[in-house]
Amino acid sequence: MELLIEKIFAKYNYWIFIIIMSIGFYAIIVKNNLIKKIIGLNIFQTAIFLFFISLGAVKGGTAPIVSEEMIAKGYVYVNPLPNVLILTAIVVAVATTAVALSLIIRMYEEYGTIEEDEIIEKSEEKEVKWK
Amino acid sequence: MSVVEHFPILTVAISLLSAFTIFVAGWINKKSCVFISIATLIAQFLMSMAILNHVMTKESIHYWLGGWKPPWGIEYVVDPLNAYILVILLFLALFCAIYSKRSIEHELPHKIASFYTIYQLLIAGLCGVTVTGDIFNMYVFIEITCLSSYALIASRGKIALKASFTYLVLGSIGACFFLLGIGFLYSVTGSLNMHDLSLLLPPLYGNKAVMAAFVFFIVGLSIKMALFPLHTWLPDAHAFAPSEISAMLSGIIIEVSTYAFIRIAFAVFTVNFIKLLPIFDILCWIAATAIIIGSILAITQLNLKRMLAYSSVAHMGYIVLAMGLSISATSYPWGGLTPALMHILNHALMKGCLFLVAGMFIYKADLWYVTYFRGLGRKMPYTCAAFVIAAISMIGVPPSVGFVSKLYIILASLEAKKFVFVAIMLLSSLLNLIYFWRVIEMMYMKREEGAGNSHASYSYKDEIPLSMLVPIWILSSLCIIMGILWLTKIPIPILNKVNAMFGLVVI
């Protein structure tokens, strides 16, 4: 039992990432309001970003601007690559959010609501009329 | 370094460049947009042919971005597999662009410039996914592709907005899973280059993180390629997008996701890893379910484009089934990835043609539903003839392309001794026949009702715009020509090189 608790706390960053990701996923599935869905999506994406960042982190590590003598003195530095990857991924996430929000605005203009079930109801009515 | 070796990056770069040129040109003259787009696509298509020729006659192209050596810098690698996919994708994109000239003027007259801007971004994304040899770069390009396709699907407004939103949420989740897979692989190997990963991974095959990464890649890309239980975004998105975008979505975008899956499964993880897990057997069964359920759902649809969309679900099942059989069927010529790659080309031709024809009916008379197609065969003879050719290819009448790919998949499943899949292939041909025959019957057999009927007396344009008819006819005639070429085995060496590269078939 103690071993298990030790195991859990030794890798607490991964557990936090899993919990945040589940919260985001829950919001995407359950929430009816489209904006809340997008917030859920953002939480989901952020969890993955945190996972990447914690991969590169080193306890007591400095910024990765190092010279030979600093390494010889025993300095450790954080792996910069995951941070760079996540910068790109954040840009992608921002773009996705922007597209999603603009879609929501257009849907609000079209249907007068941002509740998903009402939109489905109204779009079905429209499709029936179309026939 | 010969000029051809710069072409992989150029296909991506000139597409991006033309996207911004079109945006500026749209302020000055709206009519110029489509011509810039077509000119760019012609240049890209010629480049892709040159790349294919170079790859087939000489060796694979390795392009180092910024001159950085591979494990650290981004590398673009083009081997026979990429080159083959690149040619298909630019070929269909070119014809969709030619077709879109008239239909976009008709459907989205105020958005011409932005349509072609985003269209070029879509092509840039697709080319990028195809040529890249870096796994994170692939993620970024997949997202560029998907973001531009969300915008293009939504461009018609109304119901398309809802469809696009569903696709956006599901597509982002898929991309996130893909990113998570990359994270797992990076945490165990510390590399992002595909070739480097394939060298670093073999000692780690038993590692749980590597297995989890593979599963994340499968789930993420299954959403993107609309494999059966994750296909729910596809029917609406395909049905309500502008027709040329439906053709691109169905013919290319989900196929490029399949390419991404093949690349990751066979080039990053290798055949040896796949044989450790029963994952491809499970994929075969999922694909078989997709084939049956997709076809049955297609039968229930009256909206032609929605019917074609469900048929796409079934045909993605064919491709995944062929891919799943690739490790157990290994003899020439149906072994390995040959049937899967063959069906990627064939499906692009057939579905491209069918969606463009469906768009023609909407363009001319706003006809969405099969029930209103009475007597159309007499009013639009050339269009309907092209539809019939593509439809019989889907059903699998020899010597069309559909027949060849079905034949190869059946031969592969016979070799793998999985006779259930033979039965499923035959049954699905029957189901294909049911839903396409209904449309053909409506077009040719049923006479129009009296002139008093409001649907029969729609305004009838005399001339069929040539710029729309030519792409349709080229695609539908290629359905037969490619079928004969496959039967004579002329293009098979390309696929054989792919199989040899992944160690699947030894001749």
ipTM of the complex, rounded to two decimals: 0.91
Q: Are B311 and B298 in contact (CB under 8 A)?
A: yes
A-chain residues within 8 Å CB-CB of B151? 99
Contacts of A124 (CB under 8 A, 6+ apart): none
Q: Nearest CA to CA, how far is B371 from chain A (Å)? A: 10
Q: Mean pLDDT of all residues in chain B? A: 86
- Count CB-CB contacts under 10 A for residue B259: 25
- HEC sequence for chain A: CHHHHHHHHHCHHHHHHHHHHHHHHHHHHHCCEHHHHHHHHHHHHHHHHHHHHHHHCCCCCECCCCCHHHHHCCCCECCHHHHHHHHHHHHHHHHHHHHHHHHHHHHHHHHCCCEHHHHHHHHHHHHHHHC
Where does the pLDDT of residue B86 fall: very low under 50, low under 70, confident under 90, or very high at 90 and above? very high
The verdict on a CB contact (< 8 Å) between A100 and B157 is no
What is the model's pLDDT at position A126? 67
- Residue B159 has which token pair? 């119901």
The verdict on a CB contact (< 8 Å) between A103 and B183 is no
Give chain A's contact residues with B (Cβ, < 8 Å): 25, 28, 34, 37, 41, 44-45, 48, 51-52, 55, 81-82, 85, 88-89, 92, 95-96, 99-100, 103-104, 106-107, 110, 119-120, 123, 126-127, 130-131
Is the per-residue pLDDT at B1 higher than 80?
Answer: no
More confident of the two residues B172 and B459: B172
What is the model's pLDDT at position B94? 92
Helices (H), B326-337: none
Please state, in angstroms and rounded to a whole number, the distance separating the CA atoms of residues B350 and B346. Answer: 6
- Residue B207 has which token pair? 């590692």
Burial A87-119 (b: 16+ CB within 10 A, else e): eebeebbeebbebbeebbebbeebbeebebeeb
Is the per-residue pLDDT at B21 higher than 80?
Answer: yes
Comparing A73-87, B1-15, B428-442, B452-466, the range with the smallest average pLDDT is: B452-466
What is the model's pLDDT at position B59? 83
- Residue B168 has which token pair? 């956006």
What mean pLDDT comes out for the span B316-340? 85
Decide: residue A78, CB within 10 A, 0-12 exposed, 13-18 middle, 19+ buried. middle
Q: The tokens 């490619």 sit on which residue?
A: B482
In this complex, which of B161, B173, B183 lies closest to A107 when CB atoms are compared?
Answer: B161
What is the model's pLDDT at position A38? 92
Interface contacts (A, B; CB < 8 Å): 74
What is the model's pLDDT at position B463? 56
What is the model's pLDDT at position B451? 45
Q: Which residue of A97, A103, A127 is the best one to mutate when testing the B interface, meaning the one whose CB has the most B CBs within 10 A?
A: A103
Residues B25-47 have pLDDT tens digits of 888 888 888 889 999 999 999 99
List the domain boundaries for chain A: 2-130
The verdict on a CB contact (< 8 Å) between B186 and A103 is no
The verdict on a CB contact (< 8 Å) between B150 and A103 is yes
The verdict on a CB contact (< 8 Å) between B165 and A100 is yes
Is the per-residue pLDDT at B126 higher than 90?
Answer: yes
Q: Please choose, from the candidates B345, B342, B305, B286, the residue with its C-alpha nearest in 3D space to the C-alpha of residue B435.
A: B305
What mean pLDDT comes out for the span B193-204? 87
Q: Are A45 and A72 in contact (CB under 8 A)?
A: no
- Residue B295 has which token pair? 């076809």
Beta bridge partners of B142: none
What is the model's pLDDT at position B459? 46
Residues A32-50 have pLDDT tens digits of 899 999 999 999 999 999 9
Where does the pLDDT of residue A128 fall: very low under 50, low under 70, confident under 90, or very high at 90 and above? low
What mean pLDDT comes out for the span A116-125? 81
Where does the pLDDT of residue B457 fall: very low under 50, low under 70, confident under 90, or very high at 90 and above? very low
Report the interhelical angle of B112-131 vs B7-28 (nearest 10°). Answer: 170
Is the per-residue pLDDT at B153 higher than 60?
Answer: yes
Is the per-residue pLDDT at A108 higher than 60?
Answer: yes
Chain B residue closest in CA terms to A51: B183
Please state, in angstroms and rounded to a whole number, the distance separating the CA atoms of residues B32 and B28. Answer: 9
Where does the pLDDT of residue A23 fall: very low under 50, low under 70, confident under 90, or very high at 90 and above? very high
What is the model's pLDDT at position B15? 92
What is the model's pLDDT at position B460? 53
Q: Please choose, from the candidates B300, B226, B283, B214, the residue with its C-alpha nearest in 3D space to the C-alpha of residue B258.
A: B226
Is the per-residue pLDDT at B447 higher than 70?
Answer: no
A-chain residues within 8 Å CB-CB of B140? 88, 92
List the domain boundaries for chain B: 1-269, 278-448+462-507
Chain B residue closest in CA terms to A118: B162
Please state, in angstroms and rounded to a whole number, the distance separating the CA atoms of residues B155 and B443. Answer: 30
The verdict on a CB contact (< 8 Å) between A88 and B369 is no
The verdict on a CB contact (< 8 Å) between B169 and A103 is no
**Topology at the third CATH level for domain A2-130:** Helix Hairpins (1.10.287)
Chain A residue closest in CA terms to B175: A45
Q: Nearest CA to CA, how far is B100 from chain A (Å)? A: 23
Where does the pLDDT of residue B469 fall: very low under 50, low under 70, confident under 90, or very high at 90 and above? confident
Q: Mean pLDDT of all residues in chain A? A: 85
What is the model's pLDDT at position A71? 75
Is the per-residue pLDDT at B13 higher than 70?
Answer: yes
Q: Please choose, from the candidates A62, A93, A96, A66, the residue with its C-alpha nearest in 3D space to the C-alpha of residue A78.
A: A62
Q: The tokens 């599901």 sit on which residue?
A: B170
- Residue B300 has which token pair? 């229930």
Side-chain half-sphere CA neighbours of B130 within 13 A: 32
Which helix H or strand E contains B61, and what residues bound it? strand B61-64
The verdict on a CB contact (< 8 Å) between B161 and A88 is no
Which helix H or strand E contains B78, and what residues bound it? strand B75-78
Decide: residue B3, CB within 10 A, 0-12 exposed, 13-18 middle, 19+ buried. exposed
- Count CB-CB contacts under 10 A for residue A18: 12
Q: Are B103 and B363 in contact (CB under 8 A)?
A: yes
Q: Nearest CA to CA, how far is B159 from chain A (Å)? A: 6
What is the model's pLDDT at position B291? 92
What mean pLDDT comes out for the span B367-383? 77
What mean pLDDT comes out for the span B322-349? 86
